Chains A and B, each alone.
Chain A
Amino acid sequence: MKGGHGDMKYKPFGLGVTLYSFNVEYYKYTYTFEDMLALASTLGEGQGVEIVAPMFDRKYPDLSPEFEHRVRNGFEKFGLVPICYSGYSDPQRIYGRYVTDDEMFEYLKPQLDATKKLGFPLCRTSYRLSIADKLAQYCEKLGIKLGVEIHAPQTIETSEEILELCRRWEGILGIVPDCGIFCRAPSDVYLKRFADQGVPKEISDMIVDMWTKRADLEDIMAEVKSMGGNELCELMATESYIYFGHSDPAVMKDAVPYIIHMHGKFFNINEKGEELAVRIPEIVKALQEGGYAGYMSSEYEGHHWFADLDSFEQIKRHQALVRSYFK
């Protein structure tokens, strides 16, 4: 028996929720920021919360005194653990050109400062590799970590350049794998939505078949066109590629030293408690065998296809499902 976790073989890693999961309710004014924190606190003691700064702060990328107050107040009141500040480098925020390296650094700097000030251990954002060293030095000075998300259609297997950077800056730069990269099939809610909207069964079946064979997006598109598929069919093809990835969860076991946070992306946990797309059991196994000691934020994305599903119920199911695989 290791440590103090009962008859479990490994100490369970931390569970949390990213407030992105509730973005539909937030947008429709159903939940405020505080409502979401209150909900998160009912998920269990020591629940982690990840915030997406430009959802909540009017002064983004800066930290407004108002938002700082709401975060400190809210996390303390509801007994929540700050696990990740999600920011962005917004390379195309300027009309007609990409930002320069200096502009990108200046845009990220206040977000890194906010990460530190609000008590988050890490900032998740994309960034240009050309400013990686400068960002790492700044994070080292602040005492925070910086994680780039590995998101579909990327895979860990093809992220060698990023991993090399993480080796060079171990303990400061890391990766945040999004579990949508580890899929066994496209999601049932994605399939249902496109069927409901009128994609012919032959085209839908073909897209799934070519996805399973790991075809390039161009080839899937070409096939859609040759079958007479319309724009909706093309969108279905694109979404198969950008939402459901082919990375192997087992590769995470050796990558754990560079995994500073996990995005527990999932699409739909059905009435039987199953997530049909994301390979959750294998993900938990690889992380535990690798000794992962960080957090996983449950990230519900099913609302992209069905906005009427209860996101909080989905989050509860996800955390229960992940827990059920702890060994």
Chain B
Amino acid sequence: MHDEQMIAGNKLLIKNSDVKNYVGINIRLPWYRSLPISTVEELNFTINGKAIARENVTLEVDGVVYTQDELHKLDNKLWFNLDVQKALIKFDEPLSVGKHKVSLLMQLRVPYVDKGPDHFDFAQYVLCEKTMTYEGRTW
């Protein structure tokens, strides 16, 4: 649900650090209610068709940067469903100014469905693909 809104906006920002470039992409929780952040099981990004390695994707929540494994521990932290969180993508190759195809496949565990004898798999797979513009700005 809410697949099309999962990637917020259509502009890419690059953070210049001493060592690497980071692409910052604001993302929304693709669900109708807030969920504990521990329910975010996987964030799979591709940029211009190139899959980003898992360890190169982190999420900034309330000013703190977490790896994907660290996100799994945040069962007491709520992703409020109206809020964005910033996904940081370590992107080694220089990103040219202009349009880029970004896709996010999120694997989300809906925590209130009982994986009981009905054998329903309630990991939701939500896909959002967008053409985004890098205008040369950094933050």
Contact = CB atoms under 8 A, between A and B. Distances in A.
**Majority SS at the chain A contact face:** loop
A89 B112 CA distance: 7
A52 interface: yes
B20 interface: no
Contacts of A29: 82
A33 to B, nearest CB: 10
B118 A96 contact: no
Contact of A88 (B2, B75, B112, B115): B112
Contact of B33 (A24, A54, A92): A54
B32 A55 contact: yes
A181 to B, nearest CB: 15
B5 A92 contact: no
Contacts of A304: 1
Contacts of A153: 118
Contact of A90 (B112, B118, B120): B112
Nearest to A125: B112
Interface string B32-51: 11111011010000000000
Contact of A27 (B39, B41, B81): B81
**Majority SS at the chain B contact face:** loop
Nearest to B39: A93
Interface in A43-73: 52, 54-55, 58-60
Interface residues of B, number: 28
Contacts of A94: 38, 75
A93 B32 contact: no
Contact of A126 (B75, B114, B115): B114
A88 to B, nearest CB: 4
Contacts of B134: none
A272 interface: no
Given A88-B111, A93-B35, A93-B38, 5 more contacts: A27-B81, A54-B78, A55-B32, A95-B109, A126-B112
Interface of A: 20, 23-24, 26-29, 52, 54-55, 58-60, 88-96, 126, 153, 238, 242, 304
Interface of B: 1-2, 5, 32-36, 38-39, 41, 72-73, 75, 78, 80-82, 109-115, 118, 120, 122
